[in-house]
Amino acid sequence: MPRAASSKRPVSRTDAGPSLVGERFEVAVERVAHGGFCVGRHEGRAVFVRHALPGERVLAQVTEGHAGDRYLRADAVQILEASADRVEAPCRYAGAGGCGGCDWQHVAPEAQRRLKAAVVEEQLRRLAGIDRKVEVEQAPGTPDGLGWRTRVQFAVDDKGRLGLRKSRSHDIVPVEACAIAAPGVEEVGAEQRTWEGVAGVEVIAASGSSDRAVVVTPLPKPHGRMPIVELDVPVSVLRGDGEGGARRVHGRAQVREVAAGRTWKVSGSGFWQVHPAAADVLSEAVLAAVEARPGETAMDLYCGVGLFAAGLAEAVGEDGEVVAVESDKGAVEDALVNLESYDQITIVEDRVDKALKDAPEGFEAEVVVLDPPRSGAGRKVVEGITALRPRVVAYVACDPAALARDLGYFAEQGYELDTLRAFDLFPMTQHVECVARLVPAGR
């Protein structure tokens, strides 16, 4: 079950003593931790170290922390005793003081999956009281963990250079290429030009089609401006508003993504899985988990542009019903196009918690699928789902801590974890995607 919040007064910065940032000391690294860190101890205090591995002895340099803090954060700046799983990072921007986009560039791909499995297991045990062995499955098509990210959001420094931010920082590391970016992203050549007056540039290379797009977000006035975009390949150009919205400048306002046997319209910076195999992998895993039957009622919560809703509609057939809920207006508009051939689907534009609360009296659903944002579903949504008395729930999660917390809430409502699959859809990073199957306890 989730732990109760501590009643101790937080230590203020003025009470925490002098800063230790920049200090160096040796650390014996003990285990992996959530968030791309490994944990060791120095003089009885926990130290969360990036760029290290369990079993190593490293020279750590403090990046965050004060003399009075209970724990410190640090970078491994020298490896004194290396793990057998350590490899040379394939990207020259990785490592202490470099790009924060990848957490495990220094780890062999198979060992990365073991680390992620250990993190999922620890979060389940600590936050939900579930002791479960986890295996993280390799994503198709990326054995070396490189060249997979089809959507890359670059920041822009004060010289107009594209880059990526350091870990837990607003500082930008200019890059000439990103090792995990898909070939279609790098073909655009965005990193090779200057973007003066621009706050950010997202490069999109659709999977299964030749569509390419760049979303350019200018700085606020009077310093910002929308540049004339000249790149190495034909692209659609959109102007971002800094809040997730975008409008077409020239070309298409959307890209065509191909997955699950269909072509999907995804507009602007709308959400779509960034690994080219992810939509297929997750769709297959979700549908296998719920085994929706003809004539059943299903719900797809946080439905996005409709990926899972389409598969559920095929399974429940014309005599069944699918209610898809999404709060983002742009995603709803795309879903209406993507799902227009299914008369059994009803799309609800609303927050998930509100849609569940406002469900008609007596409404029940045999199947519920949810794919919430990284922060998870939360207690109110879990209570709303279990009130529908589903026979099965499939929970797609990109953060194991949020998943474990919510599994605790499901347990309070009489639902237990049946099966869990984990997928390495973000190689080189700490992130792992899970599909949890929940059923009423005792069944």
Q: 147: which 2 tokens?
A: 């060249």
Is 398 one of the catalytic residues? yes
Confirm or deny that 302 is annotated as ligand binding.
yes
Q: What is the 3-state secondary structure (H, E, C) of 117-141?
A: HHHHHHHHHHHHCCCCCCCEEECCC
- In Å, how far are 195, 278, 337, 373, 419 from 334, measured between CA atoms? 30, 19, 5, 18, 32
- In Å, how far are 102, 107, 183, 393 from 179, measured between CA atoms? 10, 15, 9, 36
Confirm or deny that 326 is annotated as ligand binding.
yes
Helix (H, G, I), strand (E, B) or coil at 355: helix
Cα–Cα distance, 99 to 36 (Å, whole number):
13
Give the distance, in angstroms, between the CA of residue 14 and the centroid of all CA atoms in the same chain: 35
Catalytic residue among 91, 303, 398, 434: 398
Q: 279: which 2 tokens?
A: 């939509």
Cα–Cα distance, 110 to 261 (Å, whole number):
30
Cα–Cα distance, 324 to 42 (Å, whole number):
51
Confirm or deny that 371 is annotated as ligand binding.
yes
Cα–Cα distance, 365 to 393 (Å, whole number):
10
Cα–Cα distance, 326 to 270 (Å, whole number):
12
* Non-local CB neighbours of 442 within 8 Å, separated by 6+ positions: none
What totals of helices (H) and strands (E) does the chain contain, helices first? 8, 22
Q: Where are the beta strands (DSSP E) in 20-108?
A: 24-33, 37-42, 45-50, 57-64, 71-81
N- to C-terminal Cα separation, the chain: 21
Q: 155: which 2 tokens?
A: 């920041």
Cα–Cα distance, 74 to 443 (Å, whole number):
46
Confirm or deny that 26 is annotated as ligand binding.
no
Q: Which residues are annotated as a binding site?
A: 273, 302, 326, 371
Question: Residues with catalytic annotation?
Answer: 398
Q: Which residues are annotated as a binding site for S-adenosyl-L-methionine?
A: 273, 302, 326, 371
